[in-house]
A and B are shown apart, each in its own frame.
Chain A
């Protein structure tokens, strides 16, 4: 059976995705900054699904380590889930926070996924899935740096899809709206617009099976963002969003 690498496997969404693919029979590689945290997730996945699961150290901003890391495990499917979000006001005033967001969500993602894409195009087979965000669909004040890092990531994934298509490599972009995770536990989220990590995982898995290019979670976010994208800028800039 094929192997799936989950980058950022300590996140709620990452764990849900790993469980979902494991339940479908895929072997799992879990990668995170503190892989020792993942022992329980590993035993859980192995016992629930009877697949094999391994844990690996991975830091998105340690670019130099990426090639050795990836070439040591060579998964069939690579899913980038990691990401960082700080309070925008703090990041506006503190460059180190803004820089970490940019470096994690964009630079680090490009670094590791370029390596994965080179491997997949050479062997003419493979899949890359990136968890971006609806926040990247249009720049706005409340998501200033986070949103622009996700916008860059989405643009990168679209370009990569275009570049790798001829080599039989598929790239899927996932844009969640609100998700109930530890990242958002203390925000008041509108229930009908918010999904659970398990829902995200199921939609990602089904999208992967169906060979989708870009999926929104939940689906109606596509239309919400369509409206938001179409508000003329002279009006948009005056809005509080």
Chain B
């Protein structure tokens, strides 16, 4: 039955028939039917990548198949969330090698978007750590692929937005940890130049990320706070923490109880929030040892925080600019400052080298900004697109809900990717609202 469905940005709304499965036989039957479909995980992509006429939801296909606690190898069905994975591996002294800024995504979604974390320079994207995986193709045949087996399928599935088929099993490597704590340092920067030089100065840290205030104009434009971190060794914990070095964070959460009216988040409140956020770090530099949750998953502490942006929803605009195109970053920040179309929380990260076919990640600076949907926003984002293109940047497909197909031209292996999709999904049976919009599948 078709019902209105959205992903995390609550825009766009698509009439979608969602179907789930617990056993392979059930998936087989669903995939055998003639209607098109798109694989869907936990719908944490922001736009329309996991939306279509029919979505096959993996959330009940979430079983752990094996966990080698000596070698740190984990094997599972795609519907398990990273949160559930952590719950099992952390007490055994293991961690995810790559994690995005929320743990409420599925392993299938991590593959589909080939997600990156705050350690892209050192660890790459999620798929770098995959040993092998199974993919159910449009023909309903299931095949195994890896960096050495059926390599074209493997490469096009990592970051392929579900278009090569449904990932049904993933085996990947974990990272050994002594404790579940992070030793972090936070440093304030007065403007973008200082912030970027801090990134350079602290690049030997595993994890680096900055919050930036995008509404301050002039000489303080781009001021922010850089956070860098390392997994803490046992000896770095205080006595209290040593009692349970592999402690799991509590699962208690706040809930954002209702959808805020759109006017509440206006330039003034966003400015005030960012001002206070900047001030909360009263010292230039602060050190602490904290559990991993607040460092990696700040926003997960509030359920349904996406309601904050009002009924119409919001789009997240995440782009990457090549390292040498700092000017592009400045131009975009200036445009946003001028427009006063401020984003509540703006995150800046540095990415390492591109390593897979269709992945968003390439060496450069990436900025993620939220824009509540209101009049003029979509047009404004089109303007930003031009700047991104001009400087050789790209937009992160998994966050996108609105760009034009042209924006994909800075993905260097786009044509190769499309060819592989065609090989494994020849009639475009697997398609999403997004793949239709971006012409990744041929329109019907």
A contacts, CB < 8 Å to B: 10, 12, 15, 37, 40-41, 43-44, 47-48, 182, 185-186, 188
Q: Are B60 and A40 in contact (CB under 8 A)?
A: no
Q: Are B19 and A44 in contact (CB under 8 A)?
A: no
Could you list 11 further interchain pairs (A-B, Cβ under 8 angstroms) beyond the known A37-B25, A182-B22, A182-B26?
Answer: A12-B22, A15-B22, A40-B65, A43-B64, A44-B62, A47-B64, A47-B66, A47-B67, A48-B87, A182-B20, A185-B20
Select A40's contact among B19, B20, B77, beta carbons within 8 Å. B77
* Contact digits for B1-35, partner A, Cβ 8 Å, 1 yes 0 no: 10000000000000000011011011000000000
Shortest distance from the beta carbon of B152 to any chain A beta carbon, whole Å:
28
Q: Are B20 and A48 in contact (CB under 8 A)?
A: no
Q: Are A186 and B63 in contact (CB under 8 A)?
A: no
Q: Are B88 and A47 in contact (CB under 8 A)?
A: yes
> Across the interface, which residues of B come within 8 angstroms of A47, CB to CB?
64, 66-67, 88
Select A186's contact among B1, B67, B77, beta carbons within 8 Å. B1
> Across the interface, which residues of A come within 8 angstroms of B84, CB to CB?
48
Q: Are A43 and B63 in contact (CB under 8 A)?
A: yes
Shortest distance from the beta carbon of B252 to any chain A beta carbon, whole Å:
16
When chains A and B are docked, how far (Å) is the Cα of A37 from the Cα of B27?
A: 13
Q: Are A12 and B60 in contact (CB under 8 A)?
A: yes
Shortest distance from the beta carbon of A202 to any chain B beta carbon, whole Å:
13
Q: Are B1 and A44 in contact (CB under 8 A)?
A: no
> Across the interface, which residues of B come within 8 angstroms of A12, CB to CB?
22, 60
Q: Are B22 and A43 in contact (CB under 8 A)?
A: no
B contacts, CB < 8 Å to A: 1, 19-20, 22-23, 25-26, 60, 62-67, 77, 84, 87-88
Cβ-Cβ contact count across A and B, 8 Å cutoff: 34
Select B88's contact among A48, A182, A185, A186, beta carbons within 8 Å. A48
> Across the interface, which residues of A come within 8 angstroms of B1, CB to CB?
186, 188
**Chain A to chain B contacts (Cβ below 8 Å), 8 pairs:** A40-B65, A43-B65, A44-B63, A47-B66, A47-B67, A47-B88, A48-B64, A185-B20
Shortest distance from the beta carbon of B167 to any chain A beta carbon, whole Å:
15
Select A185's contact among B19, B23, B77, beta carbons within 8 Å. B19
Known A-B contacts A48-B88, A186-B1, A188-B1; A41 and B63 likewise in contact (beta carbons under 8 Å): yes
- Closest-by-CB residue of B relative to A197 is B60
Q: Are A10 and B23 in contact (CB under 8 A)?
A: yes
> Across the interface, which residues of B come within 8 angstroms of A37, CB to CB?
23, 25
Select A10's contact among B20, B22, B63, B64, beta carbons within 8 Å. B22
Shortest distance from the beta carbon of B119 to any chain A beta carbon, whole Å:
26
Interface centre among B19, B22, B60, B87 (most CB of A within 10 A): B22
- Closest-by-CB residue of A relative to B76 is A44
> Across the interface, which residues of A come within 8 angstroms of B87, CB to CB?
48
Shortest distance from the beta carbon of B3 to any chain A beta carbon, whole Å:
8
Q: Are B64 and A44 in contact (CB under 8 A)?
A: yes
Select B66's contact among A41, A43, A182, A185, beta carbons within 8 Å. A43
> Across the interface, which residues of A come within 8 angstroms of B65, CB to CB?
40, 43-44
- Closest-by-CB residue of B relative to A187 is B1
> Across the interface, which residues of B come within 8 angstroms of A186, CB to CB?
1
- Closest-by-CB residue of B relative to A41 is B63
> Across the interface, which residues of B come within 8 angstroms of A41, CB to CB?
63
When chains A and B are docked, how far (Å) is the Cα of A43 from the Cα of B77?
A: 11
- Closest-by-CB residue of A relative to B61 is A40
> Across the interface, which residues of B come within 8 angstroms of A188, CB to CB?
1
> Across the interface, which residues of B come within 8 angstroms of A15, CB to CB?
22
> Across the interface, which residues of A come within 8 angstroms of B23, CB to CB?
10, 37
When chains A and B are docked, how far (Å) is the Cα of A185 from the Cα of B60?
A: 13
> Across the interface, which residues of A come within 8 angstroms of B20, CB to CB?
182, 185
When chains A and B are docked, how far (Å) is the Cα of A10 from the Cα of B22?
A: 8
Shortest distance from the beta carbon of A120 to any chain B beta carbon, whole Å:
30
Shortest distance from the beta carbon of B20 to any chain A beta carbon, whole Å:
7
Shortest distance from the beta carbon of B16 to any chain A beta carbon, whole Å:
13
Shortest distance from the beta carbon of B87 to any chain A beta carbon, whole Å:
8
When chains A and B are docked, how far (Å) is the Cα of A40 from the Cα of B58?
A: 14
> Across the interface, which residues of B come within 8 angstroms of A43, CB to CB?
63-66
Shortest distance from the beta carbon of B10 to any chain A beta carbon, whole Å:
17
When chains A and B are docked, how far (Å) is the Cα of A15 from the Cα of B1?
A: 25
When chains A and B are docked, how far (Å) is the Cα of A40 from the Cα of B21?
A: 13
Q: Are A40 and B63 in contact (CB under 8 A)?
A: yes
- Closest-by-CB residue of B relative to A11 is B22
Interface centre among B25, B64, B67 (most CB of A within 10 A): B64
When chains A and B are docked, how far (Å) is the Cα of A145 from the Cα of B20?
A: 27
When chains A and B are docked, how far (Å) is the Cα of A39 from the Cα of B64?
A: 10
Interface centre among B19, B23, B77, B84 (most CB of A within 10 A): B23
Closest 7 CB pairs between A and B? Answer: A44-B63, A40-B63, A47-B64, A44-B64, A47-B67, A37-B23, A186-B1
Interface centre among A10, A15, A37, A40 (most CB of B within 10 A): A40
When chains A and B are docked, how far (Å) is the Cα of A44 from the Cα of B60?
A: 12
> Across the interface, which residues of A come within 8 angstroms of B60, CB to CB?
12
When chains A and B are docked, how far (Å) is the Cα of A10 from the Cα of B23?
A: 9
Shortest distance from the beta carbon of B206 to any chain A beta carbon, whole Å:
27
> Across the interface, which residues of A come within 8 angstroms of B22, CB to CB?
10, 12, 15, 182
When chains A and B are docked, how far (Å) is the Cα of A186 from the Cα of B22?
A: 16
When chains A and B are docked, how far (Å) is the Cα of A47 from the Cα of B92?
A: 11
When chains A and B are docked, how far (Å) is the Cα of A145 from the Cα of B82?
A: 43
